[in-house]
A and B are shown apart, each in its own frame.
Chain A
Amino acid sequence: MRYMMLIYTTHRPATPDEMAEVATAHRALMDETERLGILYSANPLEAPATATTVRRQPGKVLVTDGPFAETKEQLAGYYLLECRDLDEAVEWAARIPTACGGGQGCVEIRAIHEAGRDVPSMSGGGRARA
């Protein structure tokens, strides 16, 4: 099961040391998940102010500047990881640094929708966990 982990951060001034710490923590987490073979990709995103919104309308494509909505917490990056179930995804998400913008934020977890998946839709079922 692939899970998209969206990193939302709040922007506040941060010292270079603080930013370096966040970057180091990300590198460590990416190394670890890479080693385990569960990392599909992980990337930071450019600032929300550089976002472009594309909306398809009948007969035309509407392109506008800026993010879709103004919110306090803004999307700063993502991890795409292979996890057994939501519990494992939560464990990884809890280790993702969210201070990419200086202030603490949160991680939103979404399973990747897999069409035609014909396996029992719940995992577990008695498997022992460590």
Chain B
Amino acid sequence: MEILRETVEAVFRRESGKIIAGLIRISGSFDLAEEAMQDAFAAALEHWPAEMPENPAAWIASAARRKLIDYARRERTRRDKEDQLLYETNTVTREPDPADEASLMDFADDQLRLMFTCCHPALNQEAQVALTLRTLGGLTTPEIARAFLVPEATLAQRLVRAKRKIQSAHIPYEVPPRDALPDRLAPVQAVIYLVFNEGYTAAAGDSLIRRELCAEAIRLGHTLSELLPREPENLGLLALLLLHDSRRDARVTAEGELIPLDEQDRSLWDREQIAEGLQLVERALRVGTPGPYQLQAAIAAVHAQALFTDRIDWRQIAALYAELYRLHDSPVVALNQAVAVALGYDLKKGLAMIDTLGDREQLESYHLFHAARADLLRRMDENEAAIVEYDRALSLTENAVERRYLRRRIAELADAIMCGLCRDCASA
């Protein structure tokens, strides 16, 4: 029984996003589709011990479709009996078409429709994220609430509101026309990126569910790239996620300490994921329309090359950041570019670049600005100036992992200064 439950749960996690997409299309309702799918999974627990189906997803899909027919018939009977109440009802009673049975197995189109509906620009981003994880990702409401550190009731409310808006404002359930695709893809990509980042940024929260978020974002990225492979930003996004995630085991110590890229044990990097990421970046860039995700993926790719070449081509990274800055002139991008210039060309030149960066006031309150200056000063053996900058960075971030990293740097530099003094004493 325990094994059966695990099998059913595995099928749910892997396939529910595909299955529900078709059920929503034929029922026209998120709620009915969800109910039918849950009933079908319950039926699976009952029937599978006797005979395990060859294709579990197909079994669930067709059982759920029969449930939808049942609901529709029951609803019609009820209505026939009390048609005086007709004006009050607005539940769905359309009986699924027999042709739906075949179309239910056409997962790809339905999944795309569902992605575009869940990430429709008329929904706010919090709602887009919640709805995407709940329907396409098959995460439960408590799981999503835990991942985003919001009360379960708040998240449930968010989902109800989003579904109500889809229904009452008639947000379409279809793939947007080609000319609208770039505008409509952006929020889908943004949701996937945000889900990944939420899992990747090692802040507070449950670490298991965070890893699950990264895995989910990568799954969604795969789906999007498979369904719309000619959009290079889809490939770029997936590559970016794979390349970052490839370092998941190397970037934090068992105690939760953040390990900087150049100190990571590269044997812990996931080679398979790196290979896939590198291949995707190449495929995307060959299309010839680089976008922000592709460029960030290319930067991550240069870092990943260190696995094979044992050196990082900072000059290429600097050039990629320059290109990224052309598309998106944020001070954070400029900051990264300056660091790459420092490491690729000349430390002093990079530091000077940082000092002339755009919106100074905005950067002054950004902890990574001070951390970057501190790192360069440290490399220039300006230990005391570096400590001052690390201190400022420390006062500007709440992230526990980052704080531990900054404190460690300060302690190391303080030791180095002490040692210097000792030597002076000894020679005196």
Contacts and interface: CB of A to CB of B under 8 A. Distances in A.
Given A122-B28, A122-B166, A122-B167, A115 B173 contact: no
Nearest to B106: A126
Categorize the interface residue count of chain A. Answer: 20 to 34
Interface string A104-130: 000001110101111111111111011
Given A86-B122, A126-B174, A129-B174, A118 B93 contact: yes
A1 interface: yes
A90 interface: yes
B86 interface: yes
Contacts of B154: none
Contact of A118 (B27, B89, B122, B167): B89
Contacts, number: 86
B29 interface: yes
Interface residues of B, number: 33
A120 B177 contact: no
SS class, residues of chain A in contact with chain B: loop
Contact of B177 (A110, A115, A117, A130): A130
A65 interface: no
Nearest to A117: B90
B112 to A, nearest CB: 11
A33 to B, nearest CB: 18
A118 B95 CA distance: 12
Given A86-B122, A111-B168, A111-B169, A124 B174 contact: yes
B308 interface: no
Contacts of A126: 25, 103, 109, 113, 174
A116 B94 CA distance: 14
Interface of B: 24-29, 86-94, 103, 109, 113, 117, 120, 122, 166-174, 176-177, 180
Task: List 3 tightest A-B contacts by C-beta distance, closest first.
Answer: A120-B28, A124-B174, A116-B87
